[in-house]
Amino acid sequence: MFGVGMSIGSINPSPYHHCIRRVRFNKVNFEYPMKAIYIKTNPGTSGTGEVRDVIFENIKIHNSIWYAIYIGPQ
């Protein structure tokens, strides 16, 4: 019941360029999530990282505990 939902990450800058690409979430219903949509970042100190082509479709979020959508550090 109380979960962090659709979580992807943790993306930290890297000399090798860490990334997340081409992810799709569709037809998801949340009741009382802590974080329904969660993209985890990790600042790091050098290099690059990216998140792209992430699609959220037909998402229903009801009564979120902390954040309905959160993009940030762990």
pLDDT digits (tens, 9 = 90+) for 53-67: 999 999 999 999 999
| Domain boundaries of the chain, sorted by first residue | 6-73
Cβ-based neighbours of 34, under 8 Å, separated by 6 or more: 2, 3, 4, 5, 64, 65, 66, 67
pLDDT digits (tens, 9 = 90+) for 23-46: 999 999 999 999 999 998 877 777
Which tokens is 20 given?
A: 């997340």
pTM of this prediction?
0.80
Nearest to 30, CA basis, from 71, 54, 66, 72: 66
Count of beta carbons in the 10 Å neighbourhood of residue 38 = 21
Q: What is the pLDDT of residue 1?
A: 61
